[in-house]
C-alpha cells in the first residue's frame, strides 16, 4: 500500500492530538507511518507546509458560512470565534499550529480570513449603498 497525502496529514493530526506540537516531528511522523523520513517529502514540502495542512484539517469542522449570517459583524464574529475555539480547544497546541499556518500562508486558513474580514467590517464599516 502506498502512502498518501491524506495519511500523512491524518497521522500528523493524531500525533498532535496525543502528544502535542513538541513531539510532531518529521522523523516521528515517518516512524508512525513506518516509512523513511524522505518519503514524507513527496507529500509535503517541509514541516511548515505540513502544519498548514494540519491547521486546515483542524478547522475543517468550522462551517464555511459561519461568520456571515447577517448584517451584524459583531454577532457574526462571535459565532465564528466560538466555532474556531470549539474546533481547536480539544487538541493540544492546536492554536499554535494555526498561528504557524497563518504566518506561513494566511490564505490557507479560511476561518481566520473570514475572521479578519469581520474585524475589518467592525473597524471600518462598509458604506451603505
Q: Cα–Cα distance between 1 and 120 in angstroms, integer?
A: 47
Query: What pLDDT shows up at residue 118?
Result: 87
Tell me which DSSP letter residue 4 carries.
-
Q: Cα–Cα distance between 109 and 58 in angstroms, integer?
A: 10
> Is residue 121 pLDDT above 90, yes or no?
no
Q: Please tell us whether the domain made up of 5-123 is placed in CATH 1.10.3130.10.
A: no
Residues 41-49, mean pLDDT to the nearest whole number: 95
Query: What pLDDT shows up at residue 93?
Result: 97
pLDDT digits (tens, 9 = 90+) for 56-103: 999 998 876 655 656 688 888 888 999 999 999 999 999 999 999 999
pTM of the full predicted structure? Answer: 0.85
Percent of the chain with pLDDT over 90: 64
Query: What pLDDT shows up at residue 129?
Result: 46
- Domains of the chain by residue range: 5-123
Q: Cα–Cα distance between 80 and 114 in angstroms, integer?
A: 8
DSSP secondary structure letters along 80-117 = HHHHHHHHHTTSTTHHHHHHHHHHH-GGG-HHHHHHHH
Torsion sign, CA atoms 111, 114, 120, 121: negative
* 3 state SS of 33: helix
Question: Within 10 Å of residue 36's Cβ, how many Cβ atoms?
Answer: 11
Amino acid at each position: 500500500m502506498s502512502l498518501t497525502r491524506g495519511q500523512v496529514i491524518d497521522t500528523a493530526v493524531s500525533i498532535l492530538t496525543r502528544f502535542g506540537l513538541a513531539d510532531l516531528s518529521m522523523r516521528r511522523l515517518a516512524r508512525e507511518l513506518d516509512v523513511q523520513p524522505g518519503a514524507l517529502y513527496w507529500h509535503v514540502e517541509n514541516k511548515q507546509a505540513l502544519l498548514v495542512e494540519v491547521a486546515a484539517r483542524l478547522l475543517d469542522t468550522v462551517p464555511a458560512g459561519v461568520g456571515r449570517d447577517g448584517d451584524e459583524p459583531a454577532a457574526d464574529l462571535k459565532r465564528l470565534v466560538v466555532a474556531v475555539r470549539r474546533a481547536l480547544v480539544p487538541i493540544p497546541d492546536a492554536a499554535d499550529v494555526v498561528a504557524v499556518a497563518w504566518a506561513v500562508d494566511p490564505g490557507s486558513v479560511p476561518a481566520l480570513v473570514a475572521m479578519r474580514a469581520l474585524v475589518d467590517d467592525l473597524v471600518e464599516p462598509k458604506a451603505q449603498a
